[in-house]
């Protein structure tokens, strides 16, 4: 078929030959894959049919399944924007080839400058970076000639994906105006390329992975090959701050400075058993004036007793004072608890390496038993080769306790609290036979009802729930506190492997090394994982045998 040109292009016939895999964009920007490529006759108007006939054999060498894109390069001619097929389909085919003075159809064009020319080099994978100098050896199929031409220059800009802009010169260019570019990219060197190509031409016969030379316009149009569906891999990484990272110390934070005691609504006492008995008697035998004072807020003096607990440790004691209930001092004195919280330092344990090697880490487990909190696994790499300090923080109002583990002088962790475990170390002692929260709920749910029973006795129907005023919440249940029955001494359990290590192990097996250098720096039994066998005039099979023997282990 014939194609007529537009936009001032001389009306040269263009023939489309089959199965070349070229793609482009039509006037709407849609990718168009014609499976054909264009060729054109020379600017002197030679008959394209005759040209085609004379080159049929040569063109027949083109693999019809070859998906390279062949682009016509013209000297001083713009192949312009649109080409219309006979059926009216427009095919946008953008490229330019610079006009260059001194180039004619009959002269050699040495050092032909193609600085203005954007030859997009599609490169396979990540072989190239901008700035690299390359040879481009292009097999030019000349009009009436078959000639090899090479281009030398540099990749100056990465276009999209694997496409690079190339700027350079074409040497030894002889043309009759038509030049099909297909070729290889070589490492830069002087003279004709002698090294094997980085991207050899024979690779080009493989579908999809191609090196294809394009000529693409600087005006934004391009001839596209395969649609890019991902980013080209590039080298990078390795720029972390290894060796420069600091570690912060996370020391113990202490306990709150403001506690429930500070509110004045609750008080904690540390009575002896005898003092508790005395308080009990006081409550049972209080005279009427005291009872009247208590009745201002509650109908039951026991309501002033919020809780009674047994602790396995002594609180911070304040002054000895009379136990006050609802603002009424009793006759019983006891230590007042000076601080709701107390920190108990249990000391430190050194967790030392036994073997000085991997056995201390990958095959060793470390656990800590914490009274009232349970058992906890510690990360061996964190605590090994360090000092483990344990502190208990106890809340004498709730009975809660927290075990805080600090690790110091480890390979990385320095004086930081890294483990926490909570529990409850108090045993609740019931003071009454009922739970006020439960009672209030049942009253509200049932509406007006009688409350009978209980230690305090019947108090009559409640018409207004607000009159039933346990302003404090009592705990009347016995807590589990099974910890009270258990072990009170915290300890660390280290489970270490028992190694089986023959005396001649190193001589016969060696030990993991991962040390680099020349072979002659090593001595004794050696297994070589990676080696560069340079300068050995051996056969291929001998080299392979050397590599295998070294990997299996040799004596140096």
Partner 1 sequence: MNVTFSKNNSDKRYLNKTLTNQLNVTGVSLYDSTSVTAPVLKVSGGPSKIANYNYVYIPDFDRYYYITDFTVENGYILVSCKVDVLMSYKDNIMLCDCIAKRNENEFNFYLHDEKFKTLAYENIFIHAFGRPFTKISEFILTVQG
- Contact set for partner 1, span 242-271 (CB under 8 A): 264-271
Cβ(168)–Cβ(186) under 8 Å? no
Q: What is the secondary structure of 2-27 as a DSSP string?
A: -BEE-TT-----EEEEE----EEE-T
Q: Which of residues 126-145 bind partner 1 (CB under 8 A)?
A: none
User: Based on CB atoms, which residue is closest to partner 1, 149 or 339?
Assistant: 339
Cβ(37)–Cβ(16) under 8 Å? yes
Q: Which of 26, 157, 379, 527 binds partner 1 (CB under 8 A)?
A: 527
Distance CA 33, CA 224 (A): 9
The pair of three-digit structure tokens given for residue 335, joined into one six-digit string: 């230590």
Distance CA 183, CA 313 (A): 88
Residue 441 in contact with partner 1, rule: CB under 8 A: no
In this structure, what are the phi and psi dihedrals at residue 389, rounded to the nearest 5 degrees?
-110, 140
Residue 523 in contact with partner 1, rule: CB under 8 A: yes
User: Based on CB atoms, which residue is closest to partner 1, 14 or 384?
Assistant: 384
Q: Which of 123, 179, 216, 279 binds partner 1 (CB under 8 A)?
A: 279
User: Based on CB atoms, which residue is closest to partner 1, 1 or 277?
Assistant: 277
Q: Which of 124, 223, 323, 407 binds partner 1 (CB under 8 A)?
A: 323
User: Based on CB atoms, which residue is closest to partner 1, 115 or 321?
Assistant: 321
User: Based on CB atoms, which residue is closest to partner 1, 27 or 352?
Assistant: 352
Q: Which of 324, 438, 469, 477 binds partner 1 (CB under 8 A)?
A: 324
Q: Which of 344, 446, 461, 478 binds partner 1 (CB under 8 A)?
A: 344
Residue 350 in contact with partner 1, rule: CB under 8 A: yes
Helix (H) or strand (E) holding 401: strand 400-408
User: Based on CB atoms, which residue is closest to partner 1, 235 or 514?
Assistant: 514
Q: Which of residues 472-501 bind partner 1 (CB under 8 A)?
A: 472, 484, 488-501
Residue 296 in contact with partner 1, rule: CB under 8 A: no
Cα 400 to Cα 56, 267, 393: the distances in Å are 95, 17, 8
Count of chain residues binding partner 1 (CB under 8 A): 118
**In the complex, minimum distance from the CB of residue 272 to partner 1, in angstroms, rounded to a whole number:** 7
- The window from 77-85, 95-103, 146-154, 306-314 that contacts partner 1 (CB under 8 A) reads 306-314
Q: 296 exposed, middle or buried (CB, 10 Å; 0-12, 13-18, 19+)? A: exposed
Q: Which of residues 222-241 bind partner 1 (CB under 8 A)?
A: none
Reduce the secondary structure of 135-147 to three states and give it as a string: EEEEEEEECCEEE
User: Based on CB atoms, which residue is closest to partner 1, 156 or 259?
Assistant: 259
- The window from 120-128, 200-208, 221-229, 389-397 that contacts partner 1 (CB under 8 A) reads 389-397
102: Cα separation from own chain's centroid: 58
Helix (H) or strand (E) holding 154: strand 145-158
Residue 517 in contact with partner 1, rule: CB under 8 A: yes
Q: Which of residues 396-425 bind partner 1 (CB under 8 A)?
A: 396-397, 425
Residue 210 in contact with partner 1, rule: CB under 8 A: no
Residue 556 in contact with partner 1, rule: CB under 8 A: yes
Cα 399 to Cα 123, 207, 260, 340, 437: the distances in Å are 72, 76, 13, 10, 20
Residue 307 in contact with partner 1, rule: CB under 8 A: yes
**In the complex, minimum distance from the CB of residue 244 to partner 1, in angstroms, rounded to a whole number:** 22
Q: Which of 45, 251, 327, 433 binds partner 1 (CB under 8 A)?
A: 327
Distance CA 402, CA 255 (A): 11
User: Based on CB atoms, which residue is closest to partner 1, 220 or 535?
Assistant: 535
Closest of 288, 298, 284, 287 to residue 326, by C-alpha: 298
User: Based on CB atoms, which residue is closest to partner 1, 313 or 446?
Assistant: 313
Are β-strands 78-79 and 95-96 bridged in parallel, bridged antiparallel, or unpaired? Answer: antiparallel
Residue 469 in contact with partner 1, rule: CB under 8 A: no
Residue 303: other Cβ atoms inside 10 A: 21
Distance CA 444, CA 423 (A): 34
Q: Which of 348, 421, 432, 439 binds partner 1 (CB under 8 A)?
A: 348
The region, left, alpha or beta by phi > 0 then psi within -120 to 50, assigned to residue 547 is: alpha
Residue 532 in contact with partner 1, rule: CB under 8 A: yes
**In the complex, minimum distance from the CB of residue 359 to partner 1, in angstroms, rounded to a whole number:** 7
Closest of 271, 285, 282 to residue 329, by C-alpha: 282
Residue 437 in contact with partner 1, rule: CB under 8 A: no
Q: 59 exposed, middle or buried (CB, 10 Å; 0-12, 13-18, 19+)? A: middle
382: Cα separation from own chain's centroid: 22
Residue 368: other Cβ atoms inside 10 A: 22
Closest of 293, 292, 289 to residue 327, by C-alpha: 293
Residue 536 in contact with partner 1, rule: CB under 8 A: yes
**In the complex, minimum distance from the CB of residue 438 to partner 1, in angstroms, rounded to a whole number:** 19
Residue 313 in contact with partner 1, rule: CB under 8 A: yes
**In the complex, minimum distance from the CB of residue 113 to partner 1, in angstroms, rounded to a whole number:** 44
SS3 486: coil
Residue 24 in contact with partner 1, rule: CB under 8 A: no
Residue 386 in contact with partner 1, rule: CB under 8 A: no
Q: Which of 17, 154, 203, 359 binds partner 1 (CB under 8 A)?
A: 359
Residue 6 in contact with partner 1, rule: CB under 8 A: no
């Amino acid at each position: 078929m014939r194609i007529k040109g537009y936009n001032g292009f001389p009306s040269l016939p263009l023939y489309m030959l089959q199965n070349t895999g070229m793609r482009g964009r039509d006037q709407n920007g849609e990718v168009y894959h014609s499976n054909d490529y264009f060729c054109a006759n020379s600017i002197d108007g030679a008959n394209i049919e005759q040209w085609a006939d004379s080159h049929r054999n040569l063109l027949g060498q083109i693999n019809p399944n070859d998906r390279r894109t062949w682009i016509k390069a013209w000297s001083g001619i713009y192949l312009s924007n649109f080409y219309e097929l006979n059926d009216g389909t427009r095919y946008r085919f953008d490229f330019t080839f610079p006009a260059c003075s001194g180039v004619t159809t009959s002269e050699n064009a040495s050092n032909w400058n193609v600085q203005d020319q954007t030859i997009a080099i599609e490169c396979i994978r990540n072989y190239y970076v901008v700035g690299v100098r390359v040879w481009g050896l292009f097999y030019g199929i000349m009009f009436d000639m078959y000639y090899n031409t090479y281009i030398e220059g540099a990749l100056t800009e990465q276009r999209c994906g694997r496409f690079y802009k190339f700027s350079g010169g074409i040497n030894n260019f002889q043309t009759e105006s038509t030049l099909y570019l297909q070729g290889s990219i070589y490492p830069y060197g002087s003279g004709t390329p002698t090294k094997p190509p980085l991207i050899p031409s024979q690779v080009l016969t493989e579908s999809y992975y191609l090196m294809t030379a394009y000529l693409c316009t600087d005006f934004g149009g391009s001839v596209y090959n395969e649609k890019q569906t991902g980013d080209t891999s590039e080298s990078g990484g390795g720029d972390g701050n290894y060796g420069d990272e600091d570690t912060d110390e996370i020391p113990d934070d202490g306990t709150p400075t403001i506690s429930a005691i500070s509110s004045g609504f609750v008080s904690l006492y540390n009575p002896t058993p005898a003092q508790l008995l005395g308080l009990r008697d006081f409550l049972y035998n209080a005279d009427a004036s005291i009872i009247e004072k208590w009745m201002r807020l509650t109908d039951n003096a026991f309501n002033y007793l919020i809780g009674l607990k047994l602790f396995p440790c002594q609180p911070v004691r304040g002054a000895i004072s009379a136990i006050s209930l609802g603002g009424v001092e009793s006759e019983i004195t006891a230590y007042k608890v000076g601080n709701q919280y107390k920190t108990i330092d249990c000391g430190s344990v050194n967790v030392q390496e036994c073997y000085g090697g991997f056995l201390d880490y990958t095959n060793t487990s470390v656990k800590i038993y914490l009274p009232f909190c349970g058992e906890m696994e510690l990360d061996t790499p964190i605590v090994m080769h360090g000092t483990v300090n344990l502190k208990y923080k106890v809340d004498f109002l709730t009975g809660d306790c927290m075990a805080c583990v600090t690790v110091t002088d480890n390979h990385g962790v320095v004086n930081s609290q890294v483990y926490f475990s909570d529990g409850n170390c108090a045993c609740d002692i019931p003071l009454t036979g009922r739970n006020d929260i439960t009672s209030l709920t049942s009253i509200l749910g049932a509406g007006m009802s009688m409350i009978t029973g209980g230690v305090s006795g019947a108090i009559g129907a409640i018409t207004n729930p607000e009159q039933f005023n346990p302003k404090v919440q009592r705990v009347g249940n016995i807590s589990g506190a099974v910890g009270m029955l258990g072990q009170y001494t915290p300890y660390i359990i280290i489970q270490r492997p028992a190694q089986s290590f023959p005396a001649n192990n190193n001589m016969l097996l060696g030990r993991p090394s991962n040390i680099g250098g020349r072979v002659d720096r090593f001595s004794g039994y050696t297994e070589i994982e990676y080696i560069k066998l340079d300068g050995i005039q051996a056969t291929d099979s001998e080299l392979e045998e050397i590599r295998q023997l070294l990997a299996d282990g040799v004596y140096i």
